[in-house]
Amino acid sequence: MIIDTMTILTSKSSETFLKTKSEIIFLIGSILTSLGILLVTVGGSWDITNHLLSKPETFFSPPHALMYFGVTVTLIGVVLSFVGWKNLQKFKNSYFLSLKIKLIGIGLLTGAGPFDFIWHSYFGLDGLLSPPHFTLITGMFLCSVGGMIGISRYLKFHNSKSISKYLLILAVIPVWLSASGIISSLSLPFSSTDFFQFNPEPTFAFIVASLAYPFLISLSLFLIFRLSHYQFGLMSILGGLFLLIYSTTAIIPNFAMFDTVQFYSLNLIPFVIADVFLKLNRSKLSLFFTGGLIGSVFYMVYYPYVMYTYNEILLGKLVSPSLIYFVYFELIQTVLLYTLIPSIIMGILAVVISAKLTKKILIN
Amino acid sequence: MKLVSFFNSEFLSINVKKFLIYLSAFVILSLYFILTIFILPSEFLMTEQLVPEPSFTAILSETNIALGDSFRLDIVSVNNGDYADIHIVSVAFPDLTRIDDIVKIATYDFTLSPSYIYVDDEIGSKYSGGVETTLAQYPSIEAMSRPLKSDVPTHFDLVVTPQELGLFHIYVKSIGIPHTSDLSHYPYSGILDHQNEYVSVYSVIVNP
């Protein structure tokens, strides 16, 4: 009898706990979802570099460990989001979109594992673009979007102070990185295997890279700018973090490119300048100028691998790891000649789209 | 009156501040573009490229054998130059149309698995690393290490059992990638193979 009463009390108190803390649980779920995807994308970028360098690789390589740890963290995040959402007393409808996207994303993400295993069993090693890899990247992208919406809405509903807005960096960076993964798989010539030739057609790849990368950089930076209610500094930190992740996973592991880190770190300048301009003036002209500026530097920001896409159509050279930066710098002026105007236009277009997306994210 | 003048001066001072910030931002941006598009690329393009210098020694166990007997070809290759992204040793059999059981690998310590090339496979030519291609006229085996540092020896030993009488030829060559100089392949001269690349020829007489 006493045990029964205690069981009822315990279950009632845990129910009360869940109900009172449900929104916080949902927020923690969203944070973990975004953090998990961040880990997966960092591991993925590191893994691509290891493949290019042909480092001896077993299943238990550090990048793989990081990626699987990231998937686990994401899974925990989605489960917590679901538990939090189920017990929500208010804003249940407002958080549903975030949960729905996360659930679809985690379904694809976890389903991609066995799909990849079956694919490997039948067709051996696959390249960057393959049906299981595309399923995985799409799942990552959806989870990160779900996490971003969850975090942004929580901050909006609670009129969070400026310090909490730094959480938006964690919300937006996985979206930027996973969307970069989608663009890379549709434009980099890393997908040819013995069984399948999934390398994108060079002209198509050229167009995709020239339009999608500038759009994405500008969209990511303007999303954080608008979601944070124009908080100064967030664009610079987000841009700086992106550069830090790319330099540590794609440049530093290749000893032949180590010296080019100084070139790459200069790319922080346009991000900081954009931040300063928008602090001083948020007129349409200023917004479009910064959007165009950010879009125009995509070839520098996506150093070094973006070079492979342009090499296919402009030079056709064999690029071994120690030649990457030679070919990259050989191409830089030609690529900018072809892509400067479209990249500026895409950067400006992203400014417009970011306004509409921010409204959709924050107003339900 | 004083108040108006105060506001006017503050307004002026804010505008001057803004102007100075814009001016500095434009100067920094211009420097950024000049550095990243013109100065640094030409600086980096002037740095010396890595020049791998592959070489090998190949020793035949026999130069005269009876039909049905086997001989060994022991190859030790090394990179005498800079770090090589890829180090390749290729052994080709111009008298064969297929390798089957005629050639067996006895020793192999390259980092990648050996790659078998069959007649009519599309292969790279003229040291282009696959940019220029041709069709294989005879079978070969490629041993590959990715990467290979300087002065690290690699071993590739074969046991060959010819099935026909007469001279049995073997072509051996080594290529370093990046192929940045004429020293990035070995041998430097001699007979050209089906890939239009120089090879060392080893021959064994197969007697009845």
Which CATH number is associated with domain B54-207?
Answer: 2.60.40.1510
Q: Which two tokens stand for residue B42?
A: 């030409």
Show residues of chain B in contact with A276, CB under 8 Å. 21, 25
Domains of chain A: 1-194 (1.20.120), 201-364 (no CATH)
CA distance A327 to A317: 8
Mutate to test the interface with B, among A318, A325, A334 (most CBs of B within 10 A): A318
**Residue indicated by tokens 């950010």:** A294
Helical residues (DSSP H) of B35-149, grouped into ranges = 40-46
For helices A2-52 and A131-157, angle between their N-to-C axes, nearest 10 degrees: 130
pLDDT in tens, B12-57: 677 888 889 999 999 999 999 999 999 999 999 998 888 999 999 9
Q: What single string gives the DSSP state of each residue in A195-217? A: S-B-PPPHHHHHHHHHHHHHHHH
Contact (Cβ atoms closer than 8 angstroms) between residue A50 and residue A157 = no
Mutate to test the interface with B, among A53, A258, A265, A269 (most CBs of B within 10 A): A269
pLDDT in tens, chain B (208 residues): 555 565 566 666 778 888 899 999 999 999 999 999 999 999 999 988 889 999 999 999 999 999 999 999 999 999 999 989 999 999 999 999 999 889 999 999 998 889 999 999 999 999 987 778 999 999 999 999 988 889 999 999 999 999 999 999 999 999 999 998 999 999 999 999 999 999 999 999 999 9
Show residues of chain B in contact with A270, CB under 8 Å. 29, 32
Nearest to B177 among A53, A277, A320 (CB): A320
Q: Which residue of A has its CA nearest to B146?
A: A54
- When computed from its CA atoms, the radius of gyration of chain B, rounded to whole angstroms, is 30
Q: What's the pTM value of the predicted model, to 2 decimals? A: 0.86
Q: Which residues of A touch B (CB under 8 A)?
A: 53-54, 56, 256, 259-260, 262-263, 266-267, 269-270, 273, 276-277, 280, 293, 300, 316-318, 320-323, 325-326, 329-330, 332-333, 336
- When computed from its CA atoms, the radius of gyration of chain A, rounded to whole angstroms, is 22
Q: Counting one residue from A and one from B, how many pairs have CB atoms under 8 Å apart?
A: 81
Q: Which residue of B has its CA nearest to A327?
A: B45
For helices A167-187 and A2-52, angle between their N-to-C axes, nearest 10 degrees: 40
Residue A325 pLDDT exceeds 70: yes
Cβ-based neighbour number of residue B39 at 10 Å:
12
